[in-house]
Structure 1
């Protein structure tokens, strides 16, 4: 009986660890190629605003972070930098700077979802028609599936 419980426990631990590793690595394995540096630099040259993703935000942690320069233009938003890999990342524009999950949830109904972030080294996300980034101040990466704050950058006061 003791041996059966030990086997059940050890197999459960291995299953949970394997599942966690799968959740972390699957987005990396299925991610499309990152945009070329030249394309991100060209987008940045046409952008109206810039901000910085930083690892030291209150809501960021070793598994949920971003770093690099975000360029916000009327037609696209680009990142020259990196994000911690994860599933189901969405890019939002917010009227206020947020740096925690609680702040994000408090303001979510006043934000606009720009689109999906599918790459973790650089990204380019088109701005939907009818969305004016100058109506907002902050760009946010949010993990929709797990309700996790990843990072944010204020691009105008």
Structure 2
């Protein structure tokens, strides 16, 4: 009888080890804890609209008296300061209108934690301080502007065609994996 128990113990221990390793692998994939120590810095230049093509029949060669046409600088139409939610987050958010009429959300001097599946969301939710603001951004209207390019630096996120920025009042650095805001900014008209 003692040999039978000893012989059955080995497969049970092996089974527990295999299940434990599988669970550890899933946990590592899901939480990606190594990202807490990995910073990704992205420094993008201020966005510019593409220059308009010259009118038909217009002079296209250099003119001795005319300076080359430069696209107009973007106009800041709204701005806000990021506050911390799930993770310490700081920086400035600007809603820019380019000379071609398109809009871009610009994050400047962003500093937040890295994490799995972070997104930049334009939302209609009010920005609330503390834990009360962690989960409000997916309750109403929101537009995902794409994956967060880096957890530090200055970055540009163009609004898709057809999105009216007047329909939104805030920006969130949103963790889609855990449905929580890392930080957010209320957009105030300038």
Into which bin does the TM-score normalised by the smaller protein fall?
Answer: 0.5 to 0.7
Aligned residue pairs total: 142
Are the aligned partners of 2:47 and 2:156 in contact in 1 as well (CA < 8 Å)? Answer: no
Inter-partner Cα distance in structure 2 for 1:124 and 1:28: 24
C-alpha distance in structure 2 between counterparts of 1:149 and 1:76, whole Å: 20
Instruction: List runs of 5+ in structure 2 lacking aligned partners.
Output: 1-8, 50-72, 98-102
Q: Deviations over 1:68-92 (max 9, x none)?
A: 1111124211111212111211111
Structure with higher helix content = 1
8 Å Cα contact 1:35/1:124 also seen in 2? no
TM-score (norm 1): 0.67
- Residue 118 of structure 1 corresponds to 149
Give the alignment's TM-score, normalised by structure 2.
Answer: 0.57
Which one of the candidate residues 173, 184, 188 is aligned to 1:141? 173
Q: For the pair shown, which has the larger CA radius of gyration, 1 or 2?
A: 2
Question: Over aligned residues, Cα RMSD in angstroms?
Answer: 3.9
Corresponding residue for residue 112 of structure 2: 83
CA positional deviation for 1:135? 2.0
Deviation by residue 1:97-122 (Cα, 9 ceiling, x = unmatched): 13323322322xx2222222121112
